[in-house]
Amino acid sequence: MFKGLLIENGDAGYEAKLAELDDSQLPEGDVTVRVAYSTLNYKDALAITGKSPVVRRFPMVPGVDLVGTVETSRHAKFAVGDLVLLNGWGVGEVHWGGLAERARLRGDWLIPIPKGFTPRQTMAIGTAGYTAMLALIALERNGVTPDKGEVLVTGAGGGVGGIAIALLHQRGYTVVASTGRLAETDYLKSLGADEVVDRAQFSSPGKPLGRERWAGAIDSVGSHTLANVCATVRYGGTVAACGLAQGMDFPATVAPFILRGVTLAGIDSVYRPVEDRLEAWRRLESDLDTRTLDLITREIGLSEAIAAASTMLAGAVRGRLVVAIDPNAAG
């Protein structure tokens, strides 16, 4: 028997609860992992609360991230005792995820834990940090270099935003952070933001084109915010879109793209090829100051995750939440 968060949707309605689970309930897979740490991401919060139809099979264990030790393996690349990492691949949506003491997974979804990080640090980065790095790589590949001008980060108080700020700062960019919590200005500047602006200037319907300002942007908000960001990007700039905290609609026009040559780069972290994942994690090892993780991370227990999900959707969580499942499973 092992503990895990279980989401059910039956006669009693939609419910997330801490439950005792049995190995026989685990889904199919060729690698079984004893989970050391997981995380609580925005998608996990939606799944736990049922505020959005994230979960597509029931019952479901949420958790899009995990790190832990291989207990059994029929996969050629992984042996018993290996420390492994998982981000995405539909876990917590269609396949049981990381918010449990044990997970059974496809070995093709796993990568070795980066040598430059501890298991806890790996989850402090998690899907949020891995996504932020994919977004930075997209900006770089589209020619957004530090000398081109300011880069905007929306949703700056969240996990993606916080790590994006730190990565951009480390690479020498001038970073402007957009947030609805201006009381967090000192915190955001400690991560590397040069300026902090109120998200209100982006969150309402705007004009097809505005004054050119940003050389690039990393947006985790979507909806009107993404539309207004695109409308104010400089000629030839790039926006990396990786989230939908405000909404998944995109109430924009083609004007920024056909009149200013703006590029909108979509960032998918869930089904990214393994080669891209390894590149992103290598870059995180070289570009991320691990001291940043202490500023943005709070650790909670598995029993606290359900309450924390509602707090996260209310916009009251700063940075990253690491969920300690069984730290002894990290060796």
Domain boundaries, the chain: 2-117+293-330, 127-266
User: CA–CA separation, 241 vs 163, rounded Å?
Assistant: 15
For range 12-31, the mean pLDDT = 95
Distance of alpha carbon 80 from alpha carbon 203, whole angstroms: 49
Confidence of residue 141 (pLDDT cuts 50, 70, 90): very high
Cis amide leading into 112 (omega within 30):
no
Query: Which of 12-43 are b and which e, b meaning 16 or more Cβ less than 10 Å from the residue's Cβ?
Result: eeeebeebebeeebbeebebbbbbbbbbbbbb
Is the four-CA dihedral 242, 243, 246, 247 of positive or negative sign? positive
> Are residues 240 and 267 in contact, defined by beta-carbon separation less than 8 angstroms?
yes
Can you give the pTM of this predicted structure? Answer: 0.94
Tens digit of each residue's pLDDT (9 = 90 or more) over 85-122: 999 999 999 999 999 999 999 999 999 999 999 999 99
pLDDT at position 315: 86
What does the pLDDT average to over 230-235?
98
pLDDT average, residue stretch 234-254: 96
Q: What is the pLDDT of residues 36-82, one digit of tens each?
A: 999 999 999 999 999 989 999 999 999 999 999 999 999 999 999 99
CATH of domain 2-117+293-330: 3.90.180.10
Burial label for 200, CB within 10 Å (0-12, 13-18, 19+), is exposed
* Average pLDDT rounded to a whole number, residues 256-276: 97
Assess whether pLDDT exceeds 90 at residue 330.
no
Superfamily of domain 127-266: NAD(P)-binding Rossmann-like Domain (3.40.50.720)
d(C-alpha 45, C-alpha 51), whole Å:
8
Helix (H, G, I), strand (E, B) or coil at 121: helix
pLDDT band at 25 (very low <50, low <70, confident <90, very high): very high
Average pLDDT in the 189-207 region?
Answer: 97
Per-residue pLDDT band for 136 (boundaries 50, 70, 90) equals: very high
Tokens representing residue 294 in the block: 């202490």
pLDDT, tens only, 280-323: 999 999 999 999 999 999 999 999 999 999 999 998 898 899 99
Query: What is the distance between the alpha carbons of residues 188 and 180, in angstroms, rounded to a whole number?
Result: 12
Confidence of residue 197 (pLDDT cuts 50, 70, 90): very high
Q: What percent of the chain has pLDDT over 70?
A: 100
Give me the pLDDT at residue 34, please.
Answer: 98
Widest CA span of the chain, in angstroms? 60
Segment 130-152 shows an average pLDDT of: 98
Flag whether pLDDT at 331 surpasses 80: no
